[in-house]
Amino acid sequence: MNAFDAQDKAITANSQSPYVKLRATNFGDCQWTNGFWADKTQKALDVMIPYMGDVLCGDIGHALNNFKIAAGMKEGEHKGMFWHDGDFYKFMEAKIYAYGLSKDKALLDELDEYISILEKAQEPDGYLQTQIQLRPDADRYENRKYHEMYNTGHLFISACAHFRMTGQRNFLDLAIKHAELLYTIFFPDTRHYQRFGFNQTQIMGLVELYRTVGDKKYLELAQKFIDRRGTYEIEHDSTTVGYPIGDMVQERTPLREEKEPVGHAVLALYYYAGAADVYAETGEDALINALDGLWESVTKKKMYATGAVGQAHYGASVNCDTIEEGFIDDYMMPNLTAYNETCANLCNAMFSFRMLGIHGQAKYADIIELVMHNSGLSGISVEGKDYFYANPLRMLHNTRNYDAHEDVTETPNREGYLSCFCCPPNLVRTISNLSGWAYSVADNGIYVNLYGSNNITTAMHDGSTIKLTQDTEYPWKGLVKLTVDECKSDAFDIALRVPGWATGATITINGEDAGVEATPETYAIINREWKQGDVIIIDIPMEATFIEGHPRIEEVRNQVAVKRGPIVYCVETPDLPEDTSVLDVYLRGDSKLEVDYRAEFLEGTAIITTDAYLRTASKESMYNVVAKPQWKDYKANLVPYYAWSNRGTAEMTVFMPIVWS
């Protein structure tokens, strides 16, 4: 690996990975210019990241204080969850991307200050885990509940991002020192460590470290963590006290033999994403065959209409292991009790982004788009300061025990701080770096993965420069204009993603039919000798439609949701008469779905208005004799799911019964 490769600036730096079809562009090559994602990204830079910094660097979040105490700079004890270090690294990563976009030296100075504290907190042999260092009764790598591997993974990922954005080695050298210790302890086949680990983010982190510095032992250690899972007897021992075992932590079945996603959804999807990174470097057939099947199972049998995953807070796996915040049976999709942790939804997109690179197929980008416009973005308020941990598809007052957990993960309203703070920085770093997902580079072409107004100047695989301008009001309108500002003279591909939901899309070049089929869930690949000033237009119809669930999803039989483009809609009580429940709303199948964009509403959004019925029914008994319904005509307003709960405490539902004339 040469010096240029070591400084690749992509988020997932697969530019030299031998087993990928699409390579990520360097971060910063693409910049949102206006519209939906430009507004969200600017909100991240102006509000989300500074507010989060105030929380995590102060006495509320206490994360930076933990490092200061470990560094001997402050008196006190560890506060926060065992994985709080990792959450702080994710916050740092968000700030790193903010610097990558803005080049604001003040951000770089703040990061340098954090890194100097981390350096002082790090033990001489490279160990850095404040949840252990500040607990005299806790020993290193003795109990998986302490989440050392999770923290390690985010340390590596953040440090690699910092090096790529800044060229500085201060954070990277700290991470390498920690990685050397990890390799010394975990690469040997010592029985004590065979089943160690809880949340396997260290696999992704090790691969990124390998891609950054070129030391192959980090890749070999990443693969060893995969190889060991499911190769030992499942039983409680000293390393498992305090947490479920087996499927919960992906250790009952070797990954290459796994047929169905099981256990904690975040643990599973981070694990799969790491395995996809390993495959991109090794090309092992057994690994990608397993990942292909798992991706299909996740997205076709266990995923909500919003792209959310992790159906249950508590439950059992197919092997009857206790699981939390995770996958349960196929097509078992409760609305009211759906857990759908924000992190799990984002991990669904992260896994899909890696599979997109490997296979180059549009279906993976469809999942990214679905998550980011719905179940990912619902995790934060439009103001940018309040968060959801769980993202159900229905919320009713007094139907969930919101005080059952000290981490306040089932709040009826978004909160400014969650004691389990993993989701907020995960979402903010993803919003901050999403421009790095918008395009990919193929052997002789560029692929448009996500739509939104932007400029991109990047290098093709052969080193030539391509500059494009994307102009669109997506996702509110489906017309996308792509202008070629600079390119090589030889023929190459420009590939436009045709979303799976899009029917009737058309593509023109300089006003003439492009001569390619705009087939849903594919890339429309146009190969020609492009020249400066060429204009490509893809016009994607944006009709609002009813969608229904698979017949085996009992929870939504005889119900529908409303979707327009990538946006899933819902109804909530601020738009209903007083003392009316969302359960009283029945949609009319013969009614027109009218779209109205309101620039000042919820910071700019399109609402959908339709004729509906409000039903008055007895609610005193669990079961009632059926009587002819009493209907009241009502003009219902539906808002995007991601924007619900921004107007006070509200009931909400995505799926509603429908009445046809």
pLDDT of residue 408: 45
**pLDDT exceeds cutoff 90 at 398:** no
CATH label of the domain that carries residue 535: 2.60.40
Mean pLDDT value of segment 326-349? 96
The answer on 225 and 164 residing in a single domain is yes
- Comparing CA positions, the residue from 197, 80, 180, 59 lying closest to residue 128 is 180
Say yes or no: 482 and 453 in one domain.
Answer: yes
pLDDT per residue over 593-632, tens digit each? 999 999 999 999 999 999 999 987 656 688 888 888 889 9
- The structural domain count of the chain equals 3
In the predicted model, is pLDDT for residue 1 greater than 70? no
Domain termination site, one of 515, 539, 563:
539
Q: Which of 479, 507, 539 is the last residue of a domain?
A: 539
Is a pLDDT exceeding 70 seen at residue 148? yes
Q: Which residue range(s) make up the domain with 449?
A: 439-539
At 7 the pLDDT is: 39
Sequence-distant (≥ 6) Cβ neighbours of residue 19 within 8 angstroms: 279, 280, 281, 282, 283, 358
pLDDT band (50, 70, 90) for residue 2: very low
Residue 51 lies in a domain: yes
Nearest CA to 161 out of 68, 109, 225, 98 is that of 98
Q: In terms of residues, how long is the chain?
A: 661
- H/E/C letters for each residue in 3-43? HHHHCCCCCCCCCCCCCCCCEECCCCCEEECCCHHHHHHHH
Do 502 and 586 lie in one domain? The reply is no
Q: Looking at the predicted structure, is the pLDDT value of residue 314 above 80?
A: yes
- Percent of the chain at pLDDT exceeding 70: 96
Please state, rounded to an integer, the average pLDDT across all residues of the chain. Answer: 94
pLDDT at 405 over 60: no
Residues 420 and 462 in one domain: no
- Does one domain contain both 192 and 278? yes
Residue 518 domain flag: yes
Burial class (CB in 10 A: 0-12, 13-18, 19+), 547: middle
Asked whether residue 478 falls in the same domain as residue 549, the answer is no
Query: Is residue 303 a part of any domain in this protein?
Result: yes
Question: What is the rounded average pLDDT of the residues 633-647?
Answer: 96
- Tell me, yes or no, whether 229 and 371 share the same domain: yes
Residues with Cβ within 8 Å of 300's Cβ and at least 6 positions away in sequence, in order, are: none
Query: Final residue of a domain: which of 406, 437, 468?
Result: 437
Q: Are residues 403 and 474 in the same domain?
A: no
Is residue 132 a part of any domain in this protein? yes
Average pLDDT, stretch 531-545?
Answer: 97
**Residues 423 and 535 both lie in one domain:** no
Q: How confident is the model over 216-262, as pLDDT tens digits?
A: 999 999 999 999 998 888 888 878 888 889 999 999 999 999 999 99
Whether the per-residue pLDDT at 656 is higher than 80: the answer is yes
* Chain segment 257-309, per-residue pLDDT in tens: 999 999 999 999 999 999 999 999 999 999 999 999 999 999 999 999 999 99
Could you tell me if residue 100 is inside a domain?
Answer: yes
7 falls within a domain: no
Domain shared by 567 and 429, yes or no: no
pLDDT for res 231: 87
Q: What is the DSSP-derived secondary structure letter of residue 264?
A: B
Residues 429 and 493 in one domain: no
CA distance 404 to 614: 33
**Across residues 634-640, what is the average pLDDT?**
96
Q: What amino acid is encoded at 213 in this protein? A: V
Q: Are 601 and 504 within one domain?
A: no
- Under DSSP, is residue 159 helix (H, G, I), strand (E, B) or coil? helix
One-letter amino acid at 223 equals Q
Mean pLDDT of 44-51: 98
- The SS3 of residue 269 is helix
Q: Is residue 610 assigned to a domain?
A: yes
Residue 38 domain-assigned (yes or no): yes
Please write down the HEC assignment for all residues of 389-446. Answer: CCCCCEECCCCCCCCCCCCCCCCCCCECCCCCCCHHHHHHHHHHHHHHHCEEEECCEE
We report the CATH number of the domain holding residue 206 as 1.50.10.20
Is the peptide bond preceding residue 541 cis, with omega within 30 degrees of 0?
no
Whole-number CA gyration radius for the chain = 25
CB contact at 8 A, 79 and 62: yes
Which residues make beta-bridge pairs with 563?
545, 568
How far apart are alpha carbons 42 and 429 in whole angstroms? 13
Average confidence (pLDDT) over 346-365: 98
- Whole-structure pTM value: 0.96
Task: Identify whether the C-beta of residue 610 lies closer than 8 Å to the C-beta of residue 592.
Answer: yes
Confidence bin at 567 (pLDDT 50/70/90): very high
Each residue of 162-171: pLDDT tens digit? 999 999 999 9
Mean pLDDT of the region 347-371: 98
What's residue 270's pLDDT? 97
**pLDDT > 70? residue 330:** yes
